[in-house]
Structures are given as C-alpha cells and as structure tokens.
Amino acid sequence: MSIWEAFGKGRYKGFSREAGLLLDEAVELAGGLGCKKADTGHLLLAMLQTDHGPAAKFLAGKNISELAVRRQLGADREGPALHLDRKALAPDLKRAMDYALIGAQNAHLAKAEPEHLLCAMLEDTDCAAGVLLASMGVQLAEAVRECRQLSGQFILPLQPRAASAMPRGSRASDKYCRDLTRRAADGELDPVFCREKELDRMVEILCRRQKNNPCLVGEPGVGKTALAEGLAQRIANKNVPRMLQGRRLLALDMASLVAGTKYRGDFEERFKNLLEELVRDGSAILFVDEFHTIVGAGAAEGAIDAASILKPVLARGELQLIGATTNQEFRTHIQKDAALERRFGKVQIEEPTPEQAVGILEGLAPRYERYHSVKLPPETLREAVELSVRYLPGRCLPDKAIDLVDEACAAARIRAEREHQPSPVLTREEVAQVVARASGIPAERVGEKERERLARLEARLNEEIVGQQRAVAAVAGAIRRSRTGLGEPGRPIGAMLFLGPTGVGKTALAKALASSWFGSEKALLKFDMSEYQEQHTVARLLGAPPGYLGHDEGGQLTEAVRRRPYSVVLFDEIEKAHPDIQNILLQLLEDGQLTDSMGRKADFRNTIVLLTSNLGARFLAGQSAPLGFAAGSEAAFEKQSEQAVAEAKKWFRPELIGRLDEIIVFRPLGEDSLCTIAEKLLGQLETRAARSGYQLTHTARVGPALAAKARSPYGARELRRQVDRAVEQALANEIASGTAAPGQHWTADCTADGCVTLQETDPVSAVL
C-alpha cells in the first residue's frame, strides 16, 4: 500500500488511530513553525509531545527530550505560522509512512502503529529525524535493532523503499531508469569541474514553486549530461538545499521504454505507469537526455506521444524533470510546442573557455591515470586543449580535448605494454599524433609551436610563391602583429586586399597561407564573387530569409566559418560582386562576427580575410613604364602600384578601405620567376608520371624555353599551358599509341629553335 492509498477512506488508511493522530499533530506543528511541509522531524516532536506509548518510552530511554527536539526545529524556523493541509507532507515523511506500512505487513498486522513510524525514521538515515537523532548522539544502527524488538511486533526487518513491496527489477523505474544518485554515492560517476554557475542555476530552478523543471540547452559536447551527473553527486553529498536532500535523480532510458511496444496503447500504458510510480514516490527527479526525443515518441495513428502524456503531470507540479538537448533540436522540436516549452526553465550551457577546459582535464586526470596506468603532466593537458581548439573546430570543448587525451593515453598504454615499460608519461608528440589522425594534418605540422610557425611563415610562403617576396613579407608581417598580441582582439587575424594582374600568384598565396598557417589547404574557404553579381544572390552568404527555400540550411559563408573557425576566407575577384557584399564585409572586418538569417553568430576572429582583385592591372601589366621611369625598375613598380591602389580606392567604399590591414600589390612575373615556376611545374609532372610507372626527366634548357614562350598578360597560367602542350601532351600521345611502356625513361629536351621534344633515353645517359 502506498502513501497515496493511505489518504483513502478514513483519516489515514492503513494506520491505527494513534498513528493517524501523530501524523495530524506533525502537520500542525510544521505549520506552527512556519514550514510549508511536515517532515519526519515534526513527526518526532509529535511523538514526544503527545504519545505515551512504547515509541515515546523508547525515545525517553535514549535521553531524547521534547525540549531538545523543539529547540533544534525552532532554530530552522522558516517564517510565520501557516495553516497546512493534511497532505502537505515532505518526501522523507512520505517515505517513512511507506516504510511503516511495509513493516506492518511484514509483521502480519492490519494497521501500522507509532512504533512502525519510529522504526521507519530510524532506518532512513537521510531523513530529517534521522539526521537530528544522529546529531544528538543516538547510534542509529543499534537503535534500529532495539526498535525491531520493541513489543515483539517486528517479525521481519523492514524492506528499503527502493525495493518497495515488489522484488527489485519488477518496478517500472528499475526497468526504464538508472539511479544516478545511487551511482554517485557508489563513486561510479566522473566528478564535474568548472561548472558551478550552471549547477547553481539548475538548483535554483528546481527549488522554484512553479516551472521548476530545468532544460539544459547547448551544443553537443559541452557537458550537458555531465551537469546532470554533477547534480546527482551534489545530492549524494548533501550539498544541496534542504528541500532537495534525499531526492533521487533517475535517468530515463527512452529506448528501453519504447522497445517491445508492439500494439497500440502499449507505450502509453508503460509510460503512464512509470510516471504514476514516480509521482507516488515523491522524491524522484526524472532526467531525460536527448529531451527532444519525447516529442513524437510512441506516436502512431490514433495514439499520443510522450510529450502529451508528460505535460499534464508537469502542469500539476506532481513531478520534476530535467531535460537536455541541443540548440538545434530545442529550436526545431521544443520551441514549436509552446505548451511544453513554458513548463521549463531554459539553462543555456555555453562551451567552456580553453582555461576552463584545462581545469576540467586536470580534475579528470587522476581517473584517466588510474585507468590507463599513464602519467599526465599538466603541460600535456594544456597542449591537448590548444591542439583540439586549433585543429578540431567542428567539435566543442571539453569533449574533444577529453577524447584526445583518452585516445592518446590508450595509444601510450598499448605501446608501453608492447615495450614492457611501466607507467609511461604522455607527451605532446603523442597527442599530436592523435590530432594528425583525426584532422589529416601532418603530425610534424601539428606539433609545431606557434612561435616557430611565426618565425618560419615567411620562408615557407616564399618556397611556394615565386617572385612575390614583397607581398609575402607584407602578409607575414600582418599575421605577426596579430598573433603577438599587438593587433586588435575583436577583429580577424588579418584583412588584406591583393591587387595585381592575372596569373601572378594572388590565389596561390591564399592557398599557401592556409597550408602554412592552418596546416591544410582545406582551411581555405574560397568564395568566387562572380557567383554573387545579382542582388538576390547576396542573401546566400548569410542565409535565405524566413519563408524562402533554404532558410533552414543557414548561410554559405557563416556555416562554412562555423564549421571551420580557423581558416583563410578568400573573396576571389571581389570587384565582380554586387555592391551589397561590401556592407557585409564592413561588419565582418570591424566586429569579427556575422549573424545569419537564423540569428546565430559566426565568429571570424580566428580567420584571415583576403580579397583579390584585378583592379589597376592595366597599370601593372603594361610593357611601358610611367613617364620618367625606367621599365622594370623598382621605382617604376612603385609608381604603377600607386596607380593601381588609387583605382581600387575609387572602386571600393572608403569605410571598407579603412578596415583593411594591408593593400598588397603583386608585381608581374619576370623571366627568372617564370623559369623557376617552369622547373616546379616540370617537377610536379615528373612526379605524376612516376606514379604511373614512367620515368620522365628534362634538360636544363627546357625551363627557359617554356618561360620564353609564356611571356604574356596571363602570367603563370600561360606557362602551365605551355608545359601541358609541350611535355604532358607529348608523353600522353606516346602512352596512348603504345610506344611508351611502364618502366621506360623519357627525356624532354629543347632544340636550337626553341621547340621542346620528347624522346626515349637510356637511364644511364639521361641528361638532367
């Protein structure tokens, strides 16, 4: 029989007249002390004040006086006297009444007596009476044994409330829920660090009179489930307000609840039985991970879903619930159901800062050290956070950093067992190896320090870009200013405009910068502005407005940066874009962020923004120098650069020009630069041929000959075409005709009239 059945016919069904009077007196005493609910402490005072039977004599034998108990309860007086309904019972008193009913059944008695209530209070060490008696020096375990022998009434020991009158495992909560509070008391849950504000906010919502159901909303991996486990640990450690002490946090397993419900009505019956059981319990708090799954769960033709079953229970305040879901799912499912949303207090869980993530890792380190038998130095944990932030932008802290450390520890443990080494120390290089496997970036690039990358940036760019030393130096200098702390913190790392004729390396420099600074050419987010010439295409960058096709997909620019916040954003041929694009760039370059059509912000503070343009190219690509300057001289290039910049300033708005860090002018490629590029292109072709099984080499005369033919306004692109026509096409013809066989050696050479020829050669006599 449950406590709610006890409120049936008569004053308290299942209890004797004396026990019922005690319960009534406990409610009156609670109201007199200004308490909103009667707990076991008030029942204890009622026993001492009104009862003269075995229970009161037992307490007197333990030197427990009415005055001492009243003094203890009076010290916790909560306010003026209140008139309470007889059902205003605290969870611990409800449990004591259930214990008493079970004790009477075990003793084969028709009614529960005051002695049963006393023994129930002594057995529940977490109830208010148990805590009070323990503080007065009563040995509860010994008192329970004596109380069971009192008057010979307790034939069988009382069963704990968690087992109820049914065998364990037969109750709905045992089948479909996991008791997080019990797991926390057993030490099975990981501790929670650096989340005190969020936990305090959850506790405040749970203590509210209405709408006391927290809903944790945040991106995947920020620690929503861990916060629920942290609350369970607080409850287990009694580090919560009095009204939450003794509560149980149960995690719902929705899959088990739905599994096996073959016929219509099975799911509704199963879920309703679970809710009724939790309501009768009175001390349970239900936690639903992936809370959005209850919307539509179990729904079929003619049936209702779990959310519709849950809403009346929440509206009556009979059950408290904690939900956890992502921002996207909350917006898609929960917000659309206004009746469900308004019953919850939203708790926004933000991604922790790198400093907080380091604190979380340091707190979890002892558990990973014990599990993997690996030592985790603090500097390795900091490196794991830094590497995860830089190279795994698609995931959130602290989850991605914890996964890195866990996998690196597993790899170190396997290696140590293979080499018979005891307790290895996890190093930065091992974490970098894991990052390299996850991101596809070479491990040596991942393990490189930022200071080293800054020092070597210009040299690396010059290895990739030929003939543009001045432009490379300007780009490297702008990045150094930002990364050494001298740049403005709220703006992108760098914002530069590249001017110059076609084929001089503007886009190539953007690719090289993405590879050198961010570790991969995949970090280059290229937007061809020829696709955004019409006004209606501008909206694609930030997302279509509501009501238009593609609104739910977000903006092309904002989504790309949100997925990869550490990147080079290239607006290629910006002069072809619609003028409204410049309005977007103004906010991007000034504030370092953009808001898409769905109200979500994209952070550009860790990006390098590059604009390329051919404006002023006619001044740079011309064969004649400005009046008064020698052709090809540095002074002539300076004058031509000024003319190109002046034309760009006429085209772009002054406010956009003022937000750029650098306007970099690329010089036309000279003969030496074209020869160097020709050698690089020929080397790349030879590498591709070797992968197909053909040995291709070239003489020293081929590069200059191809460079001489490539002198045109098209720069290096014309040189690439010359290599394709003269060498690649010739080798392809030989392969297609069957003349060339795998393993043969072919050499490209140049005749006296400048024609490039291809002929089979002996590998020994091949001339390089």
Which residue range is the domain that position 417 belongs to? 354-446
pLDDT, average across residues 622-641: 61
Same domain, yes or no: 518 and 559: yes
Structure confidence by residue, pLDDT tens digits, 705-757: 888 877 766 678 888 888 888 888 888 888 888 887 788 888 888 887 778 88
- Output 583 or 32, whichever has higher pLDDT: 583
**Residues 477, 593 contacting (CB under 8 angstroms):** no
In a domain, 619, yes or no: yes
Name the domain boundary from 333, 348, 363: 348
Q: Within its chain, how far is the Cα of 547 from the centroid?
A: 30
Same domain, yes or no: 548 and 621: yes
Question: Binning pLDDT at 50, 70 and 90, where does residue 149 land?
Answer: low
Same domain, yes or no: 410 and 307: no
Indicate whether 72 pLDDT > 70. yes
Same domain, yes or no: 608 and 564: yes
Same domain, yes or no: 743 and 658: no
Q: What separation, in Å, do the N-terminal and C-terminal C-alpha atoms of the chain show?
A: 97
Same domain, yes or no: 454 and 340: no
pLDDT for 547 equals 75
d(CA 597, CA 555): 7
Same domain, yes or no: 136 and 195: no
Least confident range of 92-96, 122-126, 578-582: 122-126
Same domain, yes or no: 468 and 437: no
Same domain, yes or no: 408 and 493: no
In a domain, 709, yes or no: yes
CB atoms near residue 666 (< 10 Å):
25
DSSP string, 445-497: HHT--HHHHHHHHHHHHHHHS-S-HHHHHHHHHHHHHHHTT-S-TTS-SEEEE
Question: Binning pLDDT at 50, 70 and 90, where does residue 628 land?
Answer: very low
pLDDT, average across residues 492-507: 89
Name the domain boundary from 665, 698, 730: 665
Domain of residue 374, CATH code: 1.10.8.60
Reading the block at residue 416, the tokens are 């140590």
d(CA 52, CA 41): 18
Angle at 630 between CA 627 and CA 633, to 5 degrees: 125
Least confident range of 81-90, 344-353, 653-662: 81-90
pLDDT for 625 equals 45
Reading the block at residue 351, the tokens are 């991604």
Same domain, yes or no: 184 and 209: yes
Domain of residue 204, CATH code: 3.40.50.300
In a domain, 438, yes or no: yes
In a domain, 310, yes or no: yes
In a domain, 124, yes or no: yes
Question: Binning pLDDT at 50, 70 and 90, where does residue 207 land?
Answer: very high
CA distances from 517 to 592, 633, 703 (A): 19, 33, 31
pLDDT for 16 equals 85
- Provide the total of helices (H) and of strands (E) in the chain, helices listed first: 36, 16
Domain of residue 66, CATH code: 1.10.1780.10
Indicate whether 387 pLDDT > 60. yes
pLDDT for 2 equals 39
**Residues 405, 377 contacting (CB under 8 angstroms):** no
Same domain, yes or no: 608 and 525: yes
The top-scoring range by mean pLDDT among 79-88, 98-107, 155-164 is: 98-107
Question: Binning pLDDT at 50, 70 and 90, where does residue 170 land?
Answer: very low
pLDDT for 169 equals 40
Structure confidence by residue, pLDDT tens digits, 510-528: 999 998 888 788 889 999 9
Pairing verdict, β 248-252 and 177-179:
antiparallel
Region of 547 on the Ramachandran plot (φ > 0 left; ψ -120 to 50 alpha; else beta): left
In a domain, 729, yes or no: yes
Name the domain boundary from 665, 682, 704: 665
In a domain, 767, yes or no: no
Mean pLDDT over each residue of the chain, to the nearest integer: 83
Question: Binning pLDDT at 50, 70 and 90, where does residue 632 land?
Answer: low
In a domain, 475, yes or no: yes
Across the beta sheet with 695-698, the strand order is 695-698, 745-750, 756-761
Same domain, yes or no: 205 and 246: yes
567 forms beta bridges with 607
Indicate whether 767 pLDDT > 50. no
Number of structural domains found in the chain: 5
